[in-house]
Amino acid sequence: MPIVKPVSKPGKSPSQLISERIAELGDWRGETLAHVRKLIKEADPDVTEEWKWRGVPVWSDGGIICTGESYKAIVKLTFQKGASISDPKGVFNASLDGNARRAIDLHEGDKINEPAFKAIIRAAVKLNAKKK
């Protein structure tokens, strides 16, 4: 008798899962995550959205640019290679002692320096391209 494998139904795309996360947060964290997502896409129209580690939004282009985690009191954007990115405007405000990563912790009511944030996104993409 032949082995019958179950037919897997196509799952939701990472972009759909990220949109659902934003909606389920339903508060300032969802609004913040939606806003930074928009800025990331504006800075890098070729960005790929991924869903990793059981529920973490990830933006990639030639490698991971950043992750977007939501906690009770913050939305944390972690840049895997952030220590190698110039940050003259001081956008990075967390994980500043690490050898590789840097993060941006956004609390309720925080405003992000949009041009500086977009410059960091572009620098991360450029850094990923160098590693190829």
Would you state the pLDDT for residue 53?
A: 81
Does the pTM of the predicted model rise above 0.85?
yes
CATH number of this structure's domain 14-130 = 3.90.1150.200
| Sign of the C-alpha dihedral computed for residues 16, 21, 26 and 28 taken in this order | negative
* Mean pLDDT over the full length of the chain: 89
Edge-to-edge strand list for the sheet holding 56-60: 48-52, 56-60, 64-70, 75-79, 102-106
What residue spans define the domains of the chain? 14-130
Would you state the pLDDT for residue 6?
A: 35
In sequence order, which ranges of the chain are alpha helices (DSSP H)? 14-25, 28-43, 114-130
Q: Which residue has the higher pLDDT, 28 or 6?
A: 28
Q: Which helix (H) or strand (E) holds 59?
A: strand 56-60
Contact predicate 40/49, CB 8 Å: no
Q: Stretch 54-70: mean pLDDT, rounded?
A: 94
